[in-house]
Amino acid sequence: MLRQSVVPRADRAEKLEAQGLSFHARDGYWKEDVCYRFNSREIEVIEAATGELHGMCIAALKVAIEKERLGQLAIPQAFWDPIAASLKRNDFSLYGRFDLAYDGNNAPKMLEYNADTPTSLLESAVCQWFWLKDKFPAADQFNSIHERLIARWRQLPGAGLIHLASVNDNEEDWACTTYLVDTVIQAGRAAKHLYMEEIGWDPPLSSYVDVQGVAIENLFKLYPWEWLMREEFAAYLTQSRTRLIEPMWKAALSCKGLLPILWEIFPNHPNLLPAYFEQGRLSAYAKKPLYSREGANIELYANNECLFKAEGPYGSQGHIYQALQSLPCFDGHYPVIGSWVIDGQSAGMCIREDSAAVTTNTSNFVPHYFVN
């Protein structure tokens, strides 16, 4: 694994915008004057760790359900039984993304699992793939994301319209959801984009409906479950005939409170970091909200000294304490591997890097390739 300087494509802006990445220049988000190079062994290590971690997370979720510990994950009690039922039915799930610390030598370490609402999907599946074809056509990339998404949509039961919703006035979420609309259409299914703010409830239909009053049979929502459970329409979630994607069991899987439970049942696993619900056992640690996005409200400590503190709106639901993991440093930059999971299987990766030790919404997206 190495960070490599490379000449950017002269027409990169036009190509990225044609591919749908409208915000590529914002804060220098898309970065292609460098890339990361891997060998095939390193890719195999990431792929294997991702598959194993997903299975372990499912096992930890089952423990949380069986031991009635969903309250530790800040999940309202009204949803404990529905989450258990959702997992038992194996309700349809599309995708998720692990954040891993990896230096090419030591075992990848799980930082967290965004199993509910991960973004950076378009740039991972499409934009970096076409970058590879332009810059390193003889090389390969750990990336079967696009094909796997299409294949997974074809497995969705029924033949009804699939609505895909994002929040209004969020360009990144809109780009991600619009890309997913395209994958649905390529899978041979009908798709329609809408905004979360446009969704209503129709009591006679026992269904959520769009602005035309059409019952929503399938709803992909780029909107986190921990918010949804506290919305005005939350009372109808367990009554609704609408299939939500991601399913309800992903609400618990995406909570950082799963990290201490993982450490309890898989102690000293090479892909895990020690994690606890209370502080006192670790001299160096990351204090993380149970739910947060893009590195917000994460604090790093060593020997009772705060090394880093990110501002943000999260943390009121509680925190966990995870052993501090030093990220690899390449030329003053700290990369985090985003390892994608589609239908429970490892499907590819992306890299976000920053000059700080915590990845935020302003961190750069950097493409990768690998050689045998």
What are 250-303's pLDDT values in tens digits? 999 999 999 999 999 999 999 999 999 999 999 999 999 999 988 889 999 999
Q: Is residue 216 part of a domain?
A: yes
pLDDT value of residue 311: 87
> Residues 7-12: what's their mean pLDDT?
98
The whole-angstrom separation of Cα 21 and Cα 350 is: 15
Q: Is 285 a domain residue? A: no
Beta strand pairing call for 109-114 and 364-366? unpaired
pTM of the model: 0.96
Task: Please give the Cα distance from 159 to 351 (Å, whole number).
Answer: 35
Residue 362 has pLDDT above 90, yes or no: no
Q: Measured between alpha carbons, how far is residue 104 from residues 40, 100, 107, 208, 282 in Å?
A: 11, 12, 8, 47, 26
The answer to the question of residue 266 being in a domain is: no
Give me the long-range contacts of 22-31 (CB less than 8 A, separation at least 24): 22/171, 22/175, 23/171, 23/172, 23/175, 24/127, 27/362, 28/364, 29/362, 29/364, 29/365, 30/123, 30/127, 30/364, 30/365, 31/353, 31/364, 31/365, 31/366
Kindly list the distances between the CA atom of residue 131 and the CA atoms of 22, 32, 346, in Å, as whole numbers in the listed order: 16, 9, 21
Asked if pLDDT for residue 321 goes beyond 90, the answer is yes
Domain-located, residue 318: no
Look at residue 359 and tell me whether its pLDDT is greater than 90. no
Looking at residue 56, its pLDDT comes to 98
- What pLDDT digit, counting tens, does each position of 275-285 carry? 999 999 999 99
The pLDDT value recorded for residue 177 is 98
pLDDT at residue 318, rounded to an integer: 94
Q: Which two tokens stand for residue 269?
A: 């696993």
Q: What percent of the chain has pLDDT over 70?
A: 100
Q: Is residue 278 part of a domain?
A: no
Of residues 182, 183, 211, the one with CA closest to residue 198: 211
Query: What's the number of domains the chain is made of?
Result: 1
Q: Is the residue at 287 inside a domain?
A: no
The reply to whether 346 falls in a domain is yes
- pLDDT, tens digit, 9 for 90 and up, residues 93-109: 999 999 999 999 999 99
Name which of 6-20, 183-197, 227-241, 276-290 the model is least confident about: 227-241
Q: Which of 23-27, 314-318, 338-342 has the lowest mean pLDDT?
A: 314-318
Q: Whole domain around residue 117: which residue ranges?
A: 2-255+328-371
Consecutive H or E run containing 229? none
65 falls within a domain: yes
pLDDT at position 360 is 81
pLDDT at residue 214 tops 90: yes
